[in-house]
Chain A
Amino acid sequence: MVAIAKNDELKRVIDEEGNVVKGARPPDIADEELRKIYRTLVQVRVVDERMMRLQRQGRLGFYMQSTGEEATHLAVAALRPSDWVFPSYREPGAAFYRGYELEQFIAQLYGNAADPIKGRQMPVHHSMNWINYVSISSPVGTQIPQATGMAMAAKIQGKDDVAIVYFGEGATSTGEFHVGANFAGVFKAPVIFLCRNNGWAISTSADRQTAAKTFASKAVGYGMPGIRVDGNDVLALYQATADAAERARAGDGPTFIEALTYRVHGHSSSDDPSVYRDPDEPKRWQQADPLARFQRYLGKKKLWTPEWEEALRTEFDQAITVAHDKVANLPPPDVETLFDDVFEELPSHLREQKEWLMAQPRTKSPHYFH
């Protein structure tokens, strides 16, 4: 099943050729902001290509690409920096847009001394409290009730911050999706549920996750609006997110957005989609590529030129090289840090275990590359 539906119920602003679709009005976004959104889309594409190459070269243990789904990351462009993002593992563009530095991003992939999370999690499990980007978890759907809770807290404290929570269509099968959406509906929590329906949960196609006609229809059961958006149309996503945020801030509660998109590559660097899906399927995606589409739109508005494209790609290529050179060969975190942050303070049993470990001869990681 290819989740690139084209039926009319999908909200769209621009078509594949970059023309504004009949009856739609592009959201009111300043030119510089439009260019920033495009820059970030390109950044994700270039970063993904380079990181995947590093993974295939054996330098990175693991990586996850976003190719085809980048537009969904830019939903955050419709929010305020003070709004919170509860990501799943495939939204690096949301972080780049908010200023996550390449050096930190790459250091996290290496889990080394410059990693903001001190080598505590495997690659792509970022955490950046300085941009309100909450720690990524591997189990699917766990962030959903947490996002609802954060939104409830904002409401309790009389603040107008909202939460956006990202998850794939597979996550809608979890209990946590249900409880998170249900709590949000009951408490009218200011949270935006952004479901990236990319057609695949590893090898399981979207039609094995639900017997409902659409994922958006699930919203009905939680007493919130559910809308379907062309997930490869960054302007449609922007508009849907802006509308949802406005509702949330007005005290009208949560919104469910199903963004139809497509996972072009495998689930992760460990996956091999040729085992379970038609190898021609991703080719059909080419015409829906969210970058190409937005590029054409910007071209028509004279906000994009081939020269700018080349300059952008060169800029990111060089920035990646510089950042990589700076952090890739850093040592692992100090061994003492193994015991930090279990609790705020080190209890005596951990102090003893730490002293014991420090007295042992150091062992070399078979997985740490220099």
Chain B
Amino acid sequence: MPTMNIIQAVNDALRLEMRRDPRVVILGEDVAKFGGVFRATSGLVDEFGPDRVMDTPLAEAGIIGAAIGMALYGLRPVPEIQFADFIFPAFDQIVNELAKFRYRSGGQYPAPVVIRTPYGGGIRGGHYHSQSPEALFIHTPGLKVVVPSDPYEAKGLLLSCIRQNDPVLFLEPKRIYRASKGEVPEGDYTIPLGKARVVREGTQVTVIAWGSMLHTALEGVDKAAELGISCEVIDLRTLMPFDVETMVESVKKTGRAVIVQEAPRTCGFAAELSATISERAMAWLEAPVERLCGFDTPFPYTLEHEYMPNGDRVLSTIQKTLDW
């Protein structure tokens, strides 16, 4: 089984699906000749040609608007937004148009568009290359939101996204694009959407994360293990619709929950998870559900290491739930 990083796994998934399904097309800024600024679409134009891998003018609303029209006509567009921070010119096309087409047409016009975009901090990118905007899109009825945490997950989840019939925002954790490596099967496999993954079993605290924060969470959990604390770790991977059962069953077993999120705290997705756990596992909770988040500040440049959750903070948050 080959070893890949996330970039290679995304590329492998796209290539495989474009060979399998002639309806799949890619469009975005610098995705063809250059293969994307992170090289996720590298080489695809050579195999599939400029009709299926399109370098577009520099306009996110145009990329998503055009992708919608393509999907209505029967294609399976996989547009790339170069950085999640640049997605906002397309916000109306995503929120009011793409996410609502099936509903507002009474089911006449499904719009299966999978938007891939790198997100998250830790790459010294400052405000415009670091944000984690998932909550804005999870709050958008009609849109699915999926976040892989390693190469195996990236390929299997992306293939599932392209093969189903709803619009998806596929957020790729760019901090670990190359740092996360692992074995990825050659050929076809899928990972079902809407199902979380128990990454590590444990008994005292449930730690929930997604994307690059899964790795931060594991750092903290490893430190906790050295102190004899047993944590169960859940990779949520599909944020909408999210797997309530896996999360709640775990908390019922451990009695404690820590949610690790890179995005700002207030109205972040961790708040929704915290509320869900509190509503469904109140009688099992030994301590309040804790959130470890980014701050309610714009994403900083020089001080990003202070902004981002890290392993030590994960550990101290785990300890807080145990000391309560």
Residues of A whose CB lies within 8 Å of any CB of B are: 84, 86, 115-118, 120-121, 125, 127-129, 134-135, 137, 139, 142, 144-157, 163, 175-176, 178-180, 182-183, 186-187, 340-344, 347-350
Contacts and interface: CB of A to CB of B under 8 A. Distances in A.
B67 interface: yes
A74 B65 CA distance: 26
B72 A182 contact: no
B207 to A, nearest CB: 22
17 contacts: A86-B69, A120-B104, A129-B105, A142-B92, A145-B62, A145-B93, A146-B97, A149-B65, A149-B71, A149-B73, A157-B75, A176-B61, A176-B65, A182-B57, A183-B56, A343-B144, A344-B166
Interface stretch (B31-39, B107-115, B170-178): B107-115
Interface string B300-324: 0000000000000000000000000
Contact of B70 (A134, A144, A150): A150
A145 B61 contact: yes
Contact of A182 (B59, B71, B241): B59
Contacts of A116: 106, 108
B142 A128 contact: no
A176 B68 CA distance: 13
Nearest to A159: B73
Contact of B103 (A120, A150, A152, A347): A120
B96 interface: yes
Given A127-B108, A148-B66, A344 B165 contact: yes
A134 B25 CA distance: 22
B25 A156 contact: yes
A179 B57 contact: yes
Nearest to B68: A146
B116 interface: no
B105 A343 contact: no
Contacts of A150: 69-70, 72-73
A127 B106 contact: yes
B64 to A, nearest CB: 8
Contacts of A145: 61-62, 64-66, 68-69, 93
A116 B104 CA distance: 10
Contact of A340 (B67, B71, B107): B107
A129 B144 CA distance: 24
B141 interface: yes
A337 to B, nearest CB: 9
A144 B57 contact: no
Contacts of B242: 349
Contact of B69 (A147, A157, A178, A348): A147
Contacts of B57: 179, 182-183, 186
A127 B66 CA distance: 19
Given A128-B108, A129-B108, A149-B66, 14 more contacts: A116-B108, A117-B106, A118-B106, A127-B108, A129-B105, A135-B109, A145-B66, A152-B70, A156-B75, A175-B61, A176-B65, A176-B93, A178-B59, A341-B103
Contacts of B70: 149-150, 152-153, 156
A137 B144 CA distance: 21
Given A139-B92, A148-B66, A341-B102, A153 B108 contact: no
A63 B106 CA distance: 20
Nearest to A150: B69
Given A145-B66, A183-B57, A347 B92 contact: no
B226 interface: no
Interface in B255-280: none
A225 to B, nearest CB: 20
B101 interface: yes
A151 B108 contact: no
Contacts of A152: 66, 69-70
B185 interface: no
B75 A137 contact: no
A146 B59 CA distance: 13
Contacts of B51: 155-156
Contacts of B241: 343, 347-350
A342 B66 contact: no
Given A135-B104, A179-B59, A182-B59, A153 B73 contact: yes
A118 B107 CA distance: 9
A153 B75 contact: yes
Contacts of A147: 69
A116 to B, nearest CB: 6
A342 B103 contact: yes
Contacts of B62: 145, 148, 179-180, 182-183
B192 interface: no
A193 to B, nearest CB: 14
B241 to A, nearest CB: 4
Contacts of B103: 120, 341-342
A341 B97 CA distance: 14
A224 to B, nearest CB: 14
Contacts of A153: 25, 69-70, 73-75
A154 B70 CA distance: 8
A348 B106 contact: no
Most interface-central of B61, B73, B89, B144 (chain A CB within 10 A): B73
Interface string B136-162: 000001101000000000000000000
